[in-house]
Structure 1
Amino acid sequence: MFEGLNEMVLPIYNPLHQDIIMGGGTIAFVKDWGAFLHVKDNMIVCSLKGKDMWSVSPVELSSIVFLVTGSVSSEVIALANEYGIDLVFFRKGEPVAKVIPARYGGSMKVWLSQLKAWKSSRVKYASVFVRGKLRNQRVVLRYYERKYSLDLSTEKLQKLEEEVISCSTVKQVMGKEAEGARIYWSSVKSLIPLKFPGRKRKSEDPFNVALNVGYAMLRRRVWSAVISAGLNPYVGFLHSIRSGRESLVFDLMEEFRPLVDRFLIGKAREKGEEGISLKEVYRGLSNVGEDEVFTQARRLARSFEGEEYSPFLMK
């Protein structure tokens, strides 16, 4: 089903089309190779080959994120320290370093609020992540139910989505998620034209391989968003805290996994026995949900300061 595996190299991920994301603590992105960040008239300016690409007042910024190799002046670093701006550096889609002000800035406040929420509202957040996932899984299946007059158990998923609200422990929430997964993947199995044994991460069948690739791309995207939003990636709500595991990244991924599923199910049905190459998988998923992921991470960060958090919902 998938061709050219040995030829593929995971492309460098460019998370956003926008250079600056406003609202709730502005994030500025440096995404052009060789860009230079400097100070001009007390504004932070991003220049490329002598041309100014964007400028922003430091008072508006919460983070500056370097997605590619660039350079930054000591004046920018000094302003970042003065105004509590985090500097975040990525390489090939993975976070390399985060430079926080010597007196600590907004991220520390977010981290403390996140820990308080973990202690007081862990079940609440875990249930929101799972409700979003169940709802979006239902959206994926509902499309095929309506188009082909099939019964793909979407009513069962809706029932589970409603039941999650009344869960009193994370274990109960995870139980509903697991039950939903059994229903969902059983229905997906009936939609895939080629042999699909059901969702198994270590399976070598073509569709599971595609899912693994798609989820890996999603993980990198969510990781970027979590770091950029100033969240602690290791303090999760649904996924337990474990040394070295970015539990919050896996939490936030749950709402977006059905986006990956929808694309791959459609491709598998479109290609049939011909199959699709991994290149098509990378190309097709390179931009899926990118803006929504960053928006959702920042929404999550704001929720720790008192705003209501609601899951990402597919249309």
Structure 2
Amino acid sequence: MASSTTANPSWRVSPTSGKKLAVVSDWGAFLGVRNGLISCYVGKELKWSASPAELWAVVITVTCSVSTEVVKICNEYGIDLVFQDGNKPVARILNAKYGGFMRVWTAQFKTRRRNDLAVAIVRGKIRNQVVTLRYYSKKYDEEEVKEAVSKMDEILERDLRDRKEALQAEAEAAKFYWRAVARLLPQALNFRGRKKRGAEDPFNVALNVGYALLRNVVWKAVINVGLNPYLSYLHKFRAGRPSLVLDLMEEFRSPFVDRPLISSARQDPKRLSDLKSVYSLVLSSIREDEVFTQARKFVDSLVEGCEYKPFRAK
């Protein structure tokens, strides 16, 4: 019989507990329980099996059949059972007993570290923006880019005490960052600064496409690790807006979207007008495993009370 150690059901392993998330991604699969193991079959072929004690979540991304025994055993062991349509979260089964993601949600509500988390998120974002600019300042002799790096480094040295000060620092750093980015881009792109809505210049349009793709990846990670996507720390709550997804996107925007798009623009500005090409470029640049790992670290920070360390680009 195949086991979780020999088969490959797209395991994702928690960096702290060592427990696994299993992804069911084969169309027409059947998820059942056999000899006490959660087992995934496609026809008569066993794709994988795992002891419930090994798992913290099972994510189903395709049309398949799930036995009620799987639902029962997931409830018994506190395993999160999540359903997705591709990258888009659809639903999860709420366990009748306390545990799993309900413990995470409780930690989200109870945490007294909202300001600390907001500051950490902003510091992570600015630090990665500096890394992007420093990369180009070494390749190209642009004084405005070097000056932006210097100013943003000064912002990072400040003692930010709460969410309000973090937001002010983020806004100030953004001015230096986007001016420097404009300096790096070909003039033909007519980039005059970041514009979220109603953008017409190719670079802003490409950024909006890239950020939408990144948002989907982060949203998937947030759901998979059991976080409530609407309970945030940096962005304000707004009905229907996944504010926590926006929080956790921040540290990935520059390394996974901005940097590859800047490089593409410098090599061939016309490429940004091809949105399929932009989509493929950003998709290949997003390191989904890193996004998932950071989401797990965020959970651990909430539940264990440890410091949250944002993703550090290189």
Query: Which residue type is aligned with residue 39 of structure 1?
Result: V
Match of 2:108 in 1: 114
Contact 2:56/2:78 (8 A) holds in 1: yes
1:301 correspondence with 2:299 = yes
- CA displacement, residues 190-221 of structure 1 (integer Å, 9 cap, x when unaligned): 11112112100121111111100100001111
Q: Does the residue aligned with 1:142 lie in a helix, a strand or coil?
A: helix
1:280 aligns with 2:277: yes
Unaligned 5+ runs, structure 2? 1-7
296-305 or 46-55, which deviates more? 46-55
Residue 244 and residue 276 in structure 1: after superposition, are their counterparts in 2 closer, same or farther (change >3 A)?
A: closer
Partner of 1:73: 67
Mapped partners of 1:275, 1:99: distance in 2: 41
Tell me by how many angstroms 1:162 deviates.
2.0
Distance apart, 1:272 and its partner CA:
2.7
* Matched ranges for 1:226-241 at <5 A: 226-241=222-237
Greater length-normalized contact order (CA 8 Å, ≥ 6 residues apart): 1
Q: For the residues of structure 1 that align with 2:161 and 2:135, how far apart are their CA atoms?
A: 32
Structure 2 counterparts to residues 170-189 of structure 1, below 5 A: 170-189=163-182
Taking a change above 3 Å as real, the CA distance of residues 21 and 273 of structure 1, as seen in their structure-2 partners, is closer
Take 1:275 and 1:21, find their aligned partners in 2: how far apart are those partners? 33
Q: 1 CA distance for matches of 2:116 and 2:218? A: 21
Secondary structure in structure 1 of the residue aligned to 2:38: strand
1-structure distance, mates of 2:214, 2:21: 20
Q: Choose from 112, 115, 129 the match for 1:123.
A: 115
TM-score of the pair, normalised by structure 2: 0.90
Q: Structure 1 residue runs of 4+, over 6 Å off?
A: none
Helix, strand or coil: the match of 2:268?
Answer: helix
Work out the percentage of aligned pairs sharing the same amino acid: 49
Whether the 8 Å CA contact 1:85–1:100 is kept in 2: the answer is no
Q: TM-score, normalised by structure 1?
A: 0.90
* Aligned twin of 2:290: 292
- The structure 2 residue matched to 1:225, chosen from 218, 221, 232, is 221
- 2:58 aligned with 1:60, yes or no? no
Provide structure 1 residue ranges, at least 5 long, that are not aligned to the other structure.
1-16
For residues 274 and 38 of structure 1, the distance between their equivalents in structure 2, rounded to whole angstroms, comes to: 47
The number of residues matched between the two structures is: 295
Could you tell which deviates more after superposition, 145-154 or 250-259? 145-154
Aligned to 1:3: none
Q: In structure 2, what is the Cα distance between the partners aligned to 1:67 and 1:263?
A: 28
Alignment partners' CA distance in 1, 2:282 and 2:42: 29
